[in-house]
Structures are given as structure tokens and as C-alpha cells.
Amino acid sequence: MGKAVLFDAEICIGCRACELACKEKHGLPMFDLTKQLDALPAETTTNAGTYTKPPELSAYTFLKVGFHEGRDAIGPLTVYSMRKCMHCEHPGCAAACPVGALQKTSEGPVVYDDNKCIGCRYCMIGCPFGIPTYQWDKPVPFIRKCTFCSDWLSEGKEPACVQACAKRTGSLTLGEREEQLAKARKIITDSPDKYVNHIYGEKEAGGTSWLFISSFSLPFEKWGLPTFGSTDPVAVNVDRAMVAIPPVLIGVAAVMAGVYWVIQRREKIRQENTAKKEVTK
Amino acid sequence: MIERKRSFPIGTSILSFLAILGLVLVVIRFINGLGAVSNLSDGRPWGFWISFDLYSGVALAAGGFTMAGAVYIFNLKKYHSVVRPAVLTAFLGYTLVILALLVDIGAPWYIWHPLVYRNIHSPLFEVALAVMTYHIVLALELSPAVFERLNWHIPLRAIRAIQIPLVIAGITISVGHQSSLGTMLLMATQALHPLWYTPILPILFLSSAVAVGPAVVILESTLSTKVFGDKLELNVLSGLGKAIPYILGIYLLLKLVDLIVRGNLGLIFSAYPQNLLWLGEIVIGVVLPIILLSIPSVRQNRRGVFLGALLVVLGLMLNRFNVSMLALAIRPGYAYFPHWMEVAISAGLVAWALLVIWLAHRFLPIASDKEVAV
Ligand code: SF4
Ligand code: SF4
């Protein structure tokens, strides 16, 4: 089992340090204050129910902290959600990719290889969370999404967002997936009046390497996350169909050959018969 | 000597204009990126090119394998004269698919990558492989036309010798790959609307492609009668028309039973506005043609068959647009309507194809019924 990050939305204060640390690590546009990173215009603040920025995940934003108005025991307040690649245990994106440019590694991250990708964007269709994004503005474009900082992870360092959060609230923590699940379960059982009794990512899409827990002030439906009817991996129906293909094709070829043979033979017999008749006449 | 035939009535100048405009736009796309010529976005990563060129294009090329199968395997000699035009259209259809994909995919210089970096579990890998191999099979099936023209007897004899295996290969690959286009959409568990998302999507794709095969041939023969004057016998057209209701009937039954089994039949009434798209494709492309083409007097009439076939084709295209664009919402809140440049690039490609068909009809024995004696 690989690594997993647990996001405890209840203690997140929406400082967005994770978001900006991510942008800094990957050299993505931030805002104009950081002059060294202004090669590309930063996304503007928009009103998406509440004022928030950036508007959505894009090739220039891999992690987004969502702002929502909610209410807890004390009164109304702003509550926070997270949207990013979940690093699925059975990633739809990787199942879809015809060239295997996306791969699940044993450490946990789902990584992408610039040198293989043909740009078909089928991974964007295959991801049940709508996560992969494309560089629409580039003549030589690539798929972009959270990398789990797999380069740092393999050096034994924590991802940029987790490091940044550790210095603030510690809502994001890294650990082995099994341990993280146990930890999340304990947090929920310790404060059952506060937390929704659900670890998002434990079973979703067959399980993910990013796990979310949230308080009643912002249940998961309000995060904009999909709900899954089953705990099957996304590719389950595809796999079933793909497995059927070779025998079906062999069957089709055999039936066609058989039909051809029978019809030709019948034709030949008919011709012989008419020939015979003519002779006997 | 090549006989001078009637000049092209749609207007070679309009076609040439579209063809050149398309080329210019393709250049812009390669300099400024996909975003410059399209309305595609992270929420709607697939658009007009995929729905029109890939999904509709491959389905409409089904005339090739259905006709070749009917004539060479099932020995329905009556349809011999339509095989070659159908195979030519299929060949050009697949050429268009490949050209459009070279525009659509972000890194067309890596289009050969599926051959080396194979993910055999990906339905798109299967589709890519099938498009490549079927294109070669179609080229071989078509090659006798070229050899006949050039009077090359030895290659002609070689192709004739492997004709039946070739036809069987063509049918097998087509069955695999028409259905794989449906399998591809099975990845979209969250995104594809439940009116269309079903594990039997591959079977639905295959059966609708088989139904549209004869319809495309009817359309094509009728149009080429108008353009080139090589008139096809009415009984061939009505024969093709007669087969369509049976196949569509099976397709309709599958669709309805599937909705009932999944308990989603009610969506036909409740899932506004998607239900209108669904009803549209079913009424236009399935119910009306079944009724029309079941009436002998309609079938016996050139205009009647043409109308029936046209409805089948339009309904099928609507179906393919529905599953790959209109009812496929990758991220909620994102809208998509094709940019005029997307449409113009596809139109440019079609214009090139029409110009090639026109040239082929002038220079190659496409419409000829007779096989040159070898
Ligand atoms: S969330 Fe989407 S992009 Fe990330 S690993 Fe899962 S399927 Fe792939
Ligand atoms: S766009 Fe690239 S990474 Fe995504 S499925 Fe296609 S080849 Fe794979």
C-alpha cells in the first residue's frame, strides 16, 4: 500500500498556503505580487457563489481550495473544500490512456509522462472526478494535474502542499494509506457530533490516495464531488467489454468463413444439378 | 482516353474554397494551439471533431464492411455494383478520421505512439489499432480499381486470390472497432447521461452501425446518380431499404429493454432536456425509418428510399453527437458549442474527400459492375 494524504476540512482555515505552495513548486502563475512568476497572467478572482480564486482547476492550477458559506454550532462562517487529483488506486485516467502515459506508482502518485502523451484527452473523459486539464493555449500542449510531488516523495520529502499546511493548521498530513484511514476513522469517532461519518476516498472509484473528512457545516455533496453508486473502479465495464473482444472477434471470423463455405458449396451443388439435368435432357 | 463527363455540379469552386480555408485554419491551429480555433475546455475536452469526424465518420463508413459482407460472404450478387463505391467511401471516411485526428489530438507527431507504448486495456488503443489496420484492408480492397485502370494483371490476380480473407478481416476488424467506440464511452461512468450510459453500449454501437451501412449506400448511390449519371437499379435500392427496418428493430428493442432493465425508462419523460435529444434520435433515426421503409410503395420509390435512408443517417449522427458531446458533461457547469473554425476545419476535410471522390469517379472504374477479365 502506498502513501496517502488526509485532508481534514474541519480544521482548514482557507489560508490557501497549500494552493500557492503548489503553484510555486510547479512554476505556475500566482498573482502579480510575485514578479518572478508573472510570465503568465494569474487567474482573476471570480464570484462563484462566494468570491474565490482561481475559478477552477486548470493547466495552471492543480489544487483548489473552495470557499463556501456554511454554518456551525456558533453561527454562520466560511468553510473550505478541496479539489484536486485524488490519485486513485485504480485510476480511470490511466486505464483510458492508450499509450500508458499515466501510471499509478506503488508509492501512491498517479504520474504522467510528457514524452508518451499523444494529446487525445481520453484521460479527461476517463477521470470520474473531471481532474486532468489540458494546455489549450500551447502549440505543444501537455496534460496537467497534481503530481503528488512524486519527485519529492521519492526523495523522502513531503509534497509542497502538505509541507506548507504543516506550518499553518496541519489539515493536510501524509502517511501510509492504511494508517491514514485509521486516523481518519478515529477523528470521526472522537467527535461524532462534528464530523460527517464518511471518509471520502476510502471506497470512491475503488479507493483513492487522497482522503477527505468534513464537518456537518459542509457535507461532501456541497464540495462538488461526485457520488458513486458502487465501489467498483471506473474501468470495470470497460474491462468486461475489452475481455470479450478477442473471443468475439475469433467467433465473427469463424462464422463468416463458415457462412461463406456453406453458401459456396450450396451454389456449387446447385450448378452441378442444373448441369446434370441439362445432360439428362 | 478518358472520357469527359459532366462537370461537378456542387461547384468545384465552393469545394476548393472550403478545402483551402480548412488548410489555413489548420495552420493557425498548429501555431497557436487548440484553444485558438476551438471552444474546447477542461470541462468539455472533446467536441465537434470527435463527434463528427471520429464518431459519425466511423459509423457512416460502415457501408464498406456491411456491403462487402453481403456480397462476398452472403453471396447477394444483386448488390455487387454498390460494393466498390461503398468501399471507396469507407476508405475516404477512414482517411478523414485519421486526418481529423491529426488536427484534434494535441501531439499528432506522436500519432504512432500507440504502436510502441501499448496500453492493451485501453479501448482507445484498440480503436487506434483498428483504424490503422482497417485503413490498410480498405486500401487493399480498393486496389483492384487502380490495377484495372492501369491494366496490371499480376497484382490484380494476387488481390483477387486473397479477396475473401480480406473481406473477412475487414468485417472482423469493423465489428471490433465499431463496438469499441462504444466501449470507449463506458469510461465516462459519471459524465455520460444515464439515458445513454449502459454496459451494452458496444452492442448498441455495432447494431446501429450495421443499420446505417445500407442507408449510407442508398444515399451515396442516389447522390452519385445525380452527379455522375450512373443510375443504380431501383430494386437494388429497395432491397437495401427492406433490410434496414429489421436491423433497426433489433436496435430499438435492445435500447428499450436495456432502459427497462436498468430501471431508467422513466428518464425518457423526466430527464429534461436530455430526453428531447434521446427522443430525437429515436424518432428520427429509428421509428420513422422503420415505418417508412416497411411500406412497400415507399420502398419502391427512389425518393421514398432516399428519405428513409436520410433519416437513418441523421438519427445515427444525432446519436453519436449525443453520446460523445451533447450528453457527455465531464465537469458540471461547463458549456460547449463548436467554434466556427472547428466546423470549418471539418468542412474543409469533407471538401477534400468530395474532390477525391469526384476524381476517382472520373479516372477509376468505380461505378462499373463488370470485373475485368484476368
Ligand atoms: S482523480 Fe482523476 S486524474 Fe487523478 S488519478 Fe484519479 S482518475 Fe486520474
Ligand atoms: S491525453 Fe495523453 S495522457 Fe491523456 S489519455 Fe491521451 S495520451 Fe494519455
Pocket test for ligand 1, best of A58, A82, A84, A87 (most atoms within 8 A of CB): A87
pLDDT of residue A37: 40
Q: How far is the C-alpha of B80 from the C-alpha of B68, rounded, in Å?
A: 9
* Residues B42, A248: C-beta atoms closer than 8 Å: no
Q: Which ranges of A90-131 does DSSP label H, i.e. alpha helix?
A: 92-96, 122-126
- Whether residue B173 lies inside any domain: the answer is yes
Report yes or no on B270 lying in a domain. Answer: yes
Which set of grid coordinates corresponds to residue B370?
A: 463488370
List of chain B residues whose C-beta atoms are within 8 Å of the C-beta of residue A141: 33-34, 106-107
Amino acid identity of residue B351, one-letter, is A
Q: Cell numbers 503568465 correspond to what residue? A: A40
The predicted pLDDT at position B232 comes to 73
User: Would B371 be classed as within a structural domain?
Assistant: no
Suggest the residue from B31, B42, B177, B184 to mutate for an interface test with chain A (most A CBs closer than 10 A). B42
Specify the pLDDT at position A32. 47
**Alpha-carbon dihedral of residues B172, B178, B179, B180, nearest 10 degrees?**
100
pTM to 2 decimals?
Answer: 0.90
| CA B309 to each of CA A271, B60, B255: distance values in angstroms, whole numbers, following the listed order | 36, 12, 20
With beta carbons less than 8 A apart as the criterion, state whether B252 and B225 touch: no
- Does the pLDDT value for residue A35 go beyond 50? no
Non-local CB neighbours of B148 within 8 Å, separated by 6+ positions: B156, B364, B365, B372
What pLDDT score does A72 carry?
83
Q: Mean per-residue pLDDT for A19-23?
A: 90
Q: Check if the beta carbon of residue B286 is closer than 8 Å to that of residue B251.
A: yes
List, for residues A258-276, the tens digit of each pLDDT value.
999 999 999 889 888 888 7
User: Which helix (DSSP H) or strand (DSSP E) does residue A67 occupy?
Assistant: strand A63-71
Residue B276 lies in a domain: yes
Domain count, chain B: 1
Is B336 part of any domain? yes
- Would the CA dihedral through B87, B90, B96, B98 be positive or negative? negative
B192 phi/psi in degrees, rounded to 5: -85, 130
Each residue's pLDDT tens digit, B6-44: 555 557 888 889 999 999 999 999 999 999 999 999 999
Q: What is the pLDDT along chain B (374 residues), one digit of tens a residue?
A: 344 455 555 578 888 899 999 999 999 999 999 999 999 999 999 999 999 999 999 999 998 999 999 999 998 988 888 888 889 889 988 998 999 999 999 999 999 999 999 999 999 999 999 999 999 999 999 888 888 888 888 888 888 888 899 999 999 999 998 999 999 999 999 999 999 999 999 999 999 999 999 999 999 888 877 777 767 778 888 899 999 999 999 999 999 999 999 999 999 989 888 999 999 999 999 999 999 999 999 888 889 999 999 999 999 999 999 999 999 999 988 889 999 999 999 999 999 888 887 787 777 776 654 444 43
Cell of B100: 481529423
Does B93 reside within a domain? Answer: yes
Ligand closest to the CA atom of residue A110:
1
**Per-residue model confidence as pLDDT tens digits over A159-171:** 999 999 999 999 9
Residue with cell 428499450: B256
What ipTM, to 2 d.p.? Answer: 0.89
What letters, b where the CB count within 10 A reaches 16 and e where it falls short, cover B296-332? eebbebbebbbbbbbbbbbbbbbbbbbbbbbbbbbbe
Structural domain boundaries enclosing B289: 12-363
Substitution target in A40, A62, A143, A242 with the highest count of B β-carbons within 10 Å is: A242
DSSP β-bridge partners for residue A122: none
pLDDT at B373: 40
Contacts of A226 by beta carbon, 8 Å cutoff, 6+ apart? A128, A129, A204, B190
CA of A127 to the centre of ligand 1 (A): 5
Judge contact between B40 and B47, C-beta under 8 A.
Answer: yes
- The angle that helices B234-261 and B302-321 make with each other, rounded to 10 degrees, is 30
**Each residue's pLDDT tens digit, B219-270:** 988 887 777 776 777 888 889 999 999 999 999 999 999 999 999 999 998 9
Task: Tell me whether residue B370 is in a domain.
Answer: no
Average confidence score pLDDT of chain A: 89
B1 part of a folded domain: no
